[in-house]
Amino acid sequence: MRKVFDFHGGIHPTENKHQSVRTPIADAGIPPELIIPLSQHIGAPARPLVAIGERVLKGQMIAEALGFVSVPVHAPTSGTIHAIEDRLIAHPSGYLAPCIVITTDGQDEWEAHSGVLNYRTLETADLISIIRNAGIAGMGGAGFPSAVKLSVKADTPIETLIINGTECEPYITADDALMREQAFEIIEGTKILQQIIGPKSTLIGVEDNKPEGIAALCAAAQGTNIEIVTFPTKYPSGGEKQLVEILTGQQVPSGGLPSEVGVVCQNIGSTVAIFDAVVKGRPLISRVTTVTGESVREPQNFEVLIGTPVQYLIDKAGYQSEKNNRLIMGGPMMGFTIPDTGVPIVKTTNCVLAPSEAELSTPPPAQACIRCGMCAEVCPASLLPQQMFWFAQGKEFEKLEEHNLFDCIECGACSFACPSNIPLVQYYRASKSEILQLRHDHEIAEQSRIRFEARQQRLEQAEQEKEAKRAARKIAAQQRAEAAQESGAEDPIQAAIDRAKIKKAEQQQDGAGDESELHKLEKAIASTAKRLTTATTKLEQAQAEGSDLVGALQTGVDKTREKMAVAKQALNDYQQHLDTRSAEQRPADAAQSAIERAMQARTTEAALSPQEKARVDLKKLQNRLKKTQATLLQSHQNAEEAKVIEALESTVARLTEKINALQPLLNTAEDA
Amino acid sequence: MALMRLTSPHAHGPMSTQRVMQSVLLATIPGIIVLTHFFGFGTLVNILWGSIVALACEALALKLRRRPLGFYLKDYSALVTAVLLCIALPPYAPWWLIAVGIASSILLAKHLYGGLGYNPFNPAMVGYVILLISFPIQMTAWAPPRGLGELPGFMEALQACFTPSAYDAITMATPMDLLKQNNSLLIKDLWGQYPQFGRWSGRGWEWANIAFLAGGVWLLYQRIFTWHAPVAMLVTLGLLAAIFYDGGSSASGGSPLFHLLGGATMFGAFFIVTDPVSSAVSLRGRLIFGGLIGVLIYTIRIEGNYPDSVAFAVLIMNFAAPFIDYYTQPRTYGHRKKRAGE
Ligand code: SF4
Ligand code: SF4
């Protein structure tokens, strides 16, 4: 027997599991309509591949994954696409989300598909891509895409593969039913996982309250190196972090992933789905869901098509609405109430619980905290719930974070144990989201502050440059005046040389500016990258814990990604701009060519009649006007500062004026 | 019917604050019976009168603070305070003494600090100490145990309470006093000289202690509190008594059994030290909290001027509880370091 470890705290709620395992898993059948959310898991939603009115076959991919942390969606049965629209979905905050609605045709006609019986011949990458394409996401908890979990970095050695068959939540028996009836598939699926990960040891952890399931697994695992490890029943031993501690004695570092202690965890349900995908070529289109509680006549497990409306499913179990006042998706400890029986079953729905009022009564009003410490005694994260409650009431967010609020896995053990009926978890959830919101706001404020400061700096720099230019021009003018005095007349060649010199000096200054600008952009990219990594690890952690914050974190990550792209683009543009500019104006040559142009101009000018001179002048002015207008337009598009635009506008006005002044002169000259 | 939206967890354990308080009340019954057996109806009358005053004070305080009466009265906390204080008071205490004590407990020590859960000091012990300092004579007048004098009947007990001037109180030094005042007799001779001593400790007292111990063990079994604070207190007290027993000379501090089964030891260990509100919260913290109370009890019993010292020891440690809590925070899962104190 392998040594198992204990974790701090834990509770023993009434299990109520026997009700739903008296009969084998039943087929829930095909409902008239399936509502399939495009996002049933953490990560980006899938993108629809079908059009309204299109006929789809069972197993056909109807929406594709968008990005790494995303999984595709398949048609659970054959039928026609009725709509692609927002529907009410099962979510703790009960909101609308894009769904594909299929009107089923009852024929259950499969798309051509085939599996690989001898999966040993497949490469790891192929296996992972099969798993990804089959749309497999964690089937308990937050629904983290399995393929992502399996793509561990090469430099993290995985010692232990843990298959989580704990199912510690009261009432739920979906995994238990799988163990009893599909032990072979579980073991084969586990072998596929072994092949992908190559762990030293493979453990299937099961609480000792499932003797039949354990016996079936042990029989199926005979002759393999997969170990079935049982341990005393205690909630929440099925929490990923707790299970890792039970089986390895190690704790997953705060904010980290199990892989940091050499562990990868997968759910029992996922092993079966992986087996189906690899060996049978069957994507994840159905799952086992427990329907139980005193408000259904026949509590049992069902094989349910993804997208089946809850109403259809609970009716199969003999739902008595008059007895029931709340429907819980998930178990009584961590499940959430659903707003409506029309919401669909999704890949993570392991249970629909329809309790009677006597069974799970409405909580009485909370009393004062008597500091009995019962909450701290049961907390599996070794937190001090009563202190956190105190700080949460006073909105002392710093203190809350000091007390490691974010290590709370929201298991509900503290609320369960609290004699004063204080809804502790509710306080923690609210505080967490408030803190995240504050952080978000703070970040935005910080960004705009940085932007403001950068702008301020830019303005100052521009001002300084202008000042320098002015000074240089002044000197140049003096020099010019002196030169003119010496030669008696202004020498355009000398002037051109001077101007070119000044310009060169200015460009050098600009160059310095370029460098700092470049540096700034690079720095921005680096900091965005850093933020992205922290955000991603946080997200992964949240996903691993199945925390509610996943959605918020995901948007955070997405936003940071976007920002990253923007920053990179900016850097790119800027570099290109620098390149073209330096190609255009090689300072040394510029001076030379300016001198040449000036010389040429003088020779031509000397040979010109006044009319011709006027015409040339006019052309020059018109050219300048055109250029200025173009710049002005561009500045408008780039939304440059008002000052710049103003200056450009006044230039345009001046030039137009001059042209207008020249025009009559030219006309009269021509008339004459 | 519209579906209810509630957040998890949806299940709740069997424990409730009412149940905690009721259990504590129930657990005092054996001790009260033994006290009544040895010292007559005085304690019972104390409790009856004290409870009435306590409920009235609680109702008054709730009314002044505009809190719903029924909801808060139902938590039984006022009753618990009253019963605990009245057990600690000498039997046949006059009505005003009890009233002053209870009012101090409920109004001063509890509601002035914000009510149940917010009081840093154990309300019953605050009431006790206020009385002890203000009315030392009444507070040290203990009736002799059964067999050493006539035990008053119930009516006499009532009379002692409500018309104290008409009641001729018979009192006797408690064994704790005798031991403290003794400086010439060997322990063995002391035992022989005074009939107040019993087999291991004070006559009657030892049985009362055993009864409170039984009640405490039952509470432990009911998981009303954890063993840490009471056991730590009893262990340090016993250890110190063993160290300074010195075989029973005239300077002896008394045997470990004398201390463990004497005075308010067991009552304090299981009914006062375990008060959740004013004690340390973490398990390690409770060990320290209880252990230090044991040390203080022994020290004050031997060196102090008061007959028994549980109340002082507890109040002093109530001061220290927040610090103990601060330095004994548990290490959170997945963290290497403890949060504080290093
Ligand atoms: S269990 Fe409830 S009453 Fe007891 S300390 Fe925790 S929050 Fe307070
Ligand atoms: S919900 Fe959080 S604080 Fe409460 S017991 Fe679970 S981990 Fe601890």
C-alpha distance from A395 to closest chain B C-alpha (Å): 18
Say what the pLDDT of residue A559 is: 76
Ligand 1, pocket-test mutation among A11, A367, A369, A388, most atoms within 8 A of CB: A369
Look at residue A607 in the predicted model and tell me its pLDDT: 58
Is the CB of B9 less than 8 angstroms away from the CB of A341? no
Choose between A564 and A369: higher pLDDT: A369
State the SS3 of B159-226: HHHHCHHHCCCCCECCHHHHHHHCCCCCHHHHHHHCCCECCCCECCHHHHHHHHHHHHHHHHHCCCCC
Among residues of chain B, what percentage have pLDDT more than 70?
A: 88
- Say if residue A322's pLDDT is above 60: yes
User: What is the rounded average pLDDT for all residues in chain A?
Assistant: 82
Please tell me the predicted confidence (pLDDT) of residue B207. Answer: 87
Interface of A with B in 592-651 (CB under 8 A): none
Answer yes or no: is pLDDT of B192 > 90: no
Nearest to B88 by CA among B290, B275, B267: B267
Q: How confident is the model at residue B216 (pLDDT cuts 50, 70, 90)?
A: very high
Long-range contacts (CB closer than 8 Å, 24 or more residues apart) made by B132-137: B132/B306, B132/B311, B134/B100, B135/B97
A-chain residues near B275 (CB < 8 A): none
ipTM metric: 0.83
Does residue A374 belong to the interface with chain B, where contact is any CB pair within 8 Å?
Answer: yes
pLDDT band, residue A529 (cuts 50/70/90): confident
Residues of B in contact with A353 (CB under 8 A): 10
Name the residue with the closest Cα to ligand 1, atom 3.
Answer: A369
Per-residue pLDDT at B23 = 93
Q: Could you tell me how many helices (H) and strands (E) chain A has, helices first?
A: 18, 17
Q: Give per-residue pLDDT as tens, A171-190.
A: 999 999 999 999 999 999 99
Question: What's the start-to-end Cα distance of chain B, in Å?
Answer: 56
Q: Are strands A226-231 and A201-207 parallel, antiparallel or unpaired?
A: parallel
Instruction: Find the range with the poorest average confidence among A225-229, A258-262, A661-665.
Output: A661-665
Of the listed ranges A32-46, A164-178, A625-639, B227-241, the least confidently predicted one is: A625-639
Burial A457-487 (b: 16+ CB within 10 A, else e): eeeeeeeeeeeebeebeeebeeebeebeeee
Residue A670 has pLDDT above 50, yes or no: no
Q: What would the pLDDT profile of B1-43 be if each residue is shown by its tens digit?
A: 567 777 888 888 888 888 889 999 999 999 999 988 888 888 8
Residue type, B195: P
pLDDT in tens, A199-231: 889 999 999 999 999 999 999 988 888 999 999
What's the rounded Cα separation, in Å, for the pair A109 and A57? 6
- Measured between CB atoms, does B5 come within 8 Å of chain A? yes
Q: To the nearest whole percent, how much of chain A has pLDDT over 90?
A: 28
Give the pair of three-digit tokens for residue B36. 């009544």
* pLDDT averaged over every residue in chain B: 84
A316's tokens: 């199969």
Domain ranges (residues) in chain A: 18-353, 372-488, 490-608, 609-672
The arithmetic mean of pLDDT across residues B263-281, rounded, is 89
**What's the pLDDT at A353?**
93
Tokens, residue A667: 């006309």
- Nearest Cα of chain A lies from the Cα of B9 at a distance, in angstroms, of 4
Nearest by Cα to A389 from A362, A364, A409, A414: A414
Cα four-point dihedral sign B207, B210, B212, B214: negative
Distance (angstroms) between ligand 2 centre and the Cα of A160 equals 27
Cα–Cα distance for residue pair A643/A633, rounded to 1 Å: 14
Please report how the helices A385-393 and A424-487 are oriented relative to each other, as an axis angle in degrees rounded to 10.
60
**Residue B334 pLDDT class (50, 70, 90 cuts):** confident
The helix/strand count (H/E) of chain B reads as 16, 0
- Are the beta carbons of A370 and B17 separated by less than 8 Å? yes
State residue A582's pLDDT score: 53
Q: Average of pLDDT values for A46-50? A: 89
Whether the Cβ atoms of residue A311 and residue A342 lie closer than 8 Å to each other: yes
**Which residues in chain A have their CB less than 8 angstroms from residue B282's CB?**
373, 376, 384
Structure-model confidence comparison of residues A638 and A598, the more confident one: A638
Sign, CA dihedral A352-A358-A363-A367, equals negative
Write out pLDDT tens, residues A572-589: 777 766 665 555 444 445
With a cut of 80, say whether residue B239 has pLDDT above it: yes
Sheet holding A96-104, edge to edge: A33-37, A96-104, A79-88, A55-56
Helix (H) or strand (E) holding A228, with range, is strand A226-231
CB-CB neighbors (< 8 A) of A381 in chain B? 332-334
Q: Nearest by CB to A332, which of B9, B75, B332?
A: B9
Task: Quote the minimal CA–CA distance from A421 to chain B in Å.
Answer: 7
Q: Which of B33, B37, B264, B44 is CA-nearest to residue B151?
A: B37
Higher per-residue pLDDT: B239 or A525: B239
Residue B341 scores a pLDDT above 60: no
Nearest CB neighbour to A326, from listed B4, B13, B20: B4
Closest CA to A301 of A351, A354, A247: A351
Residue A6 in tokens: 């204990």
Share of chain A above pLDDT 70, in %: 82
Enumerate residues 376 to 395 of chain A having a beta carbon within 8 A of any beta carbon in chain B: 376-377, 380-384, 386-387
pLDDT category, A75, cuts 50, 70, 90? very high
Please indicate whether residue A381, judged by its CB atom, sits closer than 6 Å to ligand 2.
Answer: yes
Nearest alpha carbon, ligand 2 atom 1: A410
**Is the confidence at residue A474, as pLDDT, over 60?**
yes
Higher pLDDT, B342 or B156: B156
Statement: residue A597 has pLDDT above 70: no
Q: Is the per-residue pLDDT at A60 higher than 50?
A: yes
Q: What is the 8-class DSSP label of residue A79?
A: E
Pocket test for ligand 2, best of A411, A416, A545 (most atoms within 8 A of CB): A411
Average pLDDT over every residue of A223-240: 91
A418 Cβ closer than 6 Å to some ligand 2 atom: no
Q: Over 80: is that where the pLDDT of A62 sits?
A: yes
- Name the residue with higher pLDDT: A206 or A139: A206
Q: In the predicted model, is pLDDT for residue A234 greater than 90?
A: yes
Residues B41 and B49: their CA atoms lie apart, in Å, by 12
Enumerate the residues of chain B whose CB falls inside 8 A of the CB of residue A259: none
3-state helix, strand, coil in chain A (%, to 5): 50, 15, 35
Decide if B11 touches A, using CB distance below 8 A: yes
Pocket test for ligand 2, best of A391, A409, A545, A549 (most atoms within 8 A of CB): A409
Element (H, E) at A47: strand A47-48
Is there a contact between B216 and B231 (Cβ–Cβ < 8 Å)?
Answer: no
Partner B, chain A 89-108, Cβ-Cβ below 8 Å:
92, 94
Lowest mean pLDDT among A395-409, B60-74, B144-158: B144-158
DSSP class per residue in A597-662: HHHHHHHHHHT--HHHHHHHHHHHHHHHHHHHHHHHHHHHHTT--HHHHHHHHHHHHHHHHHHHHH
Location of structure tokens 């009466």: B69
Which residues form the pocket of ligand 1, taking CB atoms under 6 Å from any ligand atom? Answer: A 369-375, 385-386, 389, 417-420, 422, 424
pLDDT at B324 over 80: yes
Overall average pLDDT of the A349-369 stretch: 87
* Ligand 1 nearest-atom number relative to CA A367: 3
CATH 3.40.50.11540 fits A18-353, yes or no: yes
Most confident of A437-446, A571-580, A650-659: A437-446
Residue A377 token pair: 């005694």
pLDDT of residue A554: 74
Looking at per-residue pLDDT, the higher value among A515 and A530 belongs to: A530
State the pLDDT at residue A116: 83
What does the block give as tokens for B63? 């009314």
Mean pLDDT of B111-129: 88
Residue A486 confidence (pLDDT): 65
pLDDT digits (tens, 9 = 90+) for A85-134: 888 888 766 678 889 999 999 888 888 888 888 888 888 888 888 988 89
Answer whether residue A29 shows pLDDT above 50.
yes
Contact call for residues A515 and A492 (beta carbons, < 8 A): no
To test the contact with chain A by mutation, choose from B3, B7, B8 the residue with the greatest count of A C-beta atoms within 10 A, namely: B8
Is A321 or A587 the better-scoring residue by pLDDT?
A321
The pLDDT value recorded for residue A515 is: 58
Distance A376 CA to ligand 2 centre (A): 8
Of B225, B330, B221, B329, which is closest to residue B278 (Cα–Cα)?
A: B225
